[in-house]
């Protein structure tokens, strides 16, 4: 059992699940039966030797700070729900902002009660008036129940092998007991300073957890930029599970936005003709300083500026910026579900250095000035420095990012980076390939057409 091998979380308690029988009248799967002459239905799964479809994949995204994990996992989920896999995908998300993003057919989202994390890395309850222990227990039980009912063929866990505050412990043990479910750990290209990662992973017994519960570790990056297995000193047994997917080409989001009939975010802003500089501060929780400096930076005469504030930028700062820039060529936009619609029009970008933002900058090959976050983790500054050294962007540390320095960069003659020729951006096609390699014939089975009528849960 997990708690016999690892450090048990003080926030965690054993799960007891009470289940009601589920009866679905008129539900049939038109391409098969359950082997006993009866149609497959909800709660009924094909036995050995029978085609197992549709392919079900669950993703876990804890999302305690910002919306970066959520956006990355939504993009992965969309790639899995599209051809060739056409999987049924359940995203278990820790940010209620998940509801702000359009969902494709075959993809849905279960939102957990939210955690928060401050700039010192301390967790708390974001909204509910619950102590942390009870909130984590609630989240853990919801996760375990969802996986128990959804019965995924594959579970992809984002970043934390045991989940936030070890809330996945029970779910992992349950998945381990089901021989039909494989488990993958998904990591962004950079986690933090190597010594920090090694210390945290040792404290959480992450390597033991990966060896016991995970079939593979997928790193969403290019080892030419950062070789996680080497930098973090993974043991040979864990390193053998590592596969690098390449970065995710964010231009795919343009097609997704068009399919969802997303409006043009520049319409209605009343900007005059001219070049466009885009500023992004992630979710906005820790982007106040950059937003303020960018709004005070002198703009070249023919340049417009749009600040994408994010849902967490303090309202007081938003109001101050709007008041300061009234009547100018500067606009503040609170939130855009798909900022790629802005990226495609921008001439240059000033931004923090989160994974998604940097992938967007490189995918669209935009000249960029990165002002990375330096706490509670240093992953942004590590990523930005590596890419700067490759000549793909420019960087200022937060204390260096004055309005004058930003304005001077806006006036400089800068060239677009040739990122697509130099780095691996095949991640969105590579992930489905890795799923097929892991699941074998199951991933190639055709999905049935479901007819659902009069689905009843007895009282």
Neighbours of 457 (CB within 10 A): 9
- CA 207 to chain centroid: 22
CA angle 42, 136, 141 (to 5 degrees): 20
Q: Please determine, for residue 146, whether its predicted confidence score (pLDDT) is greater than 90.
A: yes
- Residue ranges of the alpha helices (H) in 151-193? 169-177
Q: What is the mean pLDDT of residues 394-416?
A: 97
CA dihedral 103, 105, 110, 116 (to 10 degrees): -20
Q: What is the mean pLDDT of residues 221-238?
A: 98
Q: Give the confidence band of 392 by pLDDT, cuts at 50, 70, 90.
A: very high
Q: Give residues with Cβ within 8 angstroms of 121, minimum separation 6.
A: 376, 377
pLDDT at position 445: 57
pLDDT in tens, 301-354: 999 999 999 888 999 999 999 999 999 999 999 988 889 999 999 999 999 999
- Tokens at residue 352, please? 């923090």
HSE at residue 222, side-chain half, CA atoms within 13 A, is 19
Closest of 203, 155, 160 to residue 64, by C-alpha: 160
Ordered by start, the domain boundaries in the chain are 54-245, 265-422
CATH fold of 54-245 reads Rossmann fold (3.40.50)
Q: Please tell me if the domain spanning 54-245 has the same topology as the one spanning 265-422.
A: yes
Q: Please determine, for residue 454, whether its predicted confidence score (pLDDT) is greater than 60.
A: no
In this prediction, what percent of the chain has a pLDDT beyond 90? 69
Q: Are 89 and 107 in contact (CB under 8 A)?
A: yes
pLDDT in tens, 354-374: 999 999 999 999 999 999 999
Parallel/antiparallel/unpaired status of strands 23-24 and 455-456: antiparallel
End-to-end CA distance of the chain: 35
pLDDT in tens, 341-358: 999 999 999 999 999 999
pTM for this prediction: 0.85
Q: Give residues with Cβ within 8 angstroms of 408, minimum separation 6.
A: none
Q: Please determine, for residue 401, whether its predicted confidence score (pLDDT) is greater than 70.
A: yes
Q: Give the confidence band of 259 by pLDDT, cuts at 50, 70, 90.
A: confident
Worst-scoring range by mean pLDDT, 37-41, 112-116, 263-267? Answer: 37-41
- With tokens 């997990």, the residue in question is 2
Phi, psi of 451 (to 5 degrees): -120, 120
Q: Which superfamily does CATH assign the domain made up of 265-422 to?
A: Glycogen Phosphorylase B; (3.40.50.2000)
pLDDT in tens, 95-142: 777 677 778 889 999 999 988 888 777 889 988 999 999 999 999 999
pLDDT at position 4: 41
């Amino acid at each position: 059992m997990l708690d016999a091998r690892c450090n048990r979380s003080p926030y965690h308690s054993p799960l007891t699940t009470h289940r009601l029988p589920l009866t679905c009248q008129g539900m049939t799967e038109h391409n098969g039966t359950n082997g006993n002459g009866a149609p497959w239905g909800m709660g009924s799964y094909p036995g050995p030797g029978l085609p197992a479809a549709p392919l079900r994949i669950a993703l876990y995204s804890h999302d305690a700070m910002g919306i970066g994990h959520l956006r990355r996992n939504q993009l992965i989920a969309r790639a899995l729900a599209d051809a060739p896999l056409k999987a049924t995908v359940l995203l278990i998300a820790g940010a209620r902002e998940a509801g702000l993003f359009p969902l494709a057919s075959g993809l849905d989202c279960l939102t957990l009660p939210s955690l928060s994390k401050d700039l010192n890395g301390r967790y708390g309850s974001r909204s509910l008036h619950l102590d942390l222990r009870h909130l984590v227990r609630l989240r853990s039980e919801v996760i375990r129940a969802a996986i128990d009912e959804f019965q995924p063929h594959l579970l992809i866990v984002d970043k934390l092998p045991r989940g936030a505050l070890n809330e996945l412990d029970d779910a992992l043990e349950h998945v381990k007991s089901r021989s039909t479910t494989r488990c993958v750990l998904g990591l962004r290209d950079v986690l933090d300073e190597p010594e920090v990662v090694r210390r945290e992973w040792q404290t959480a017994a992450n390597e033991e957890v990966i060896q016991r519960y995970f079939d593979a570790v997928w790193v969403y990056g290019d080892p030419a930029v950062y070789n996680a297995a080497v930098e973090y000193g993974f043991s040979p047994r864990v390193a053998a599970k590592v596969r690098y997917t390449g970065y995710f080409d964010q231009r795919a989001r343009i097609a997704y936005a068009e399919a969802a009939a997303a409006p043009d975010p520049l319409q209605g802003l009343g900007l005059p003709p001219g070049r466009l500089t885009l500023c992004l501060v992630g979710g906005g929780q820790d982007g106040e300083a950059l937003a303020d400096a960018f709004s005070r930076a002198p703009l070249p005469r023919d340049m417009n500026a749009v600040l994408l504030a994010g849902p967490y930028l303090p309202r007081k700062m938003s109001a101050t910026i709007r008041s300061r820039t009234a009547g100018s060529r500067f606009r503040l936009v609170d939130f855009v579900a798909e900022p790629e619609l802005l990226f495609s029009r921008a001439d240059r970008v000033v931004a923090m250095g989160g994974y998604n933002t940097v992938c967007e900058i490189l995918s669209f090959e935009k000249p960029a000035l990165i002002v990375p976050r330096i706490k509670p983790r240093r992953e942004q500054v590590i990523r930005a420095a590596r890419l700067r050294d490759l000549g793909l962007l420019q960087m200022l540390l937060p204390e260096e990012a004055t309005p004058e320095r930003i304005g001077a960069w806006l006036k400089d003659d800068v060239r677009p980076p040739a990122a697509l020729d130099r780095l691996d951006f095949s991640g969105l096609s590579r992930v489905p390939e890795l799923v097929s390699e892991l699941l074998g014939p199951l991933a190639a089975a055709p999905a049935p057409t479901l007819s659902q009528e009069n689905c009843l849960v007895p009282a």
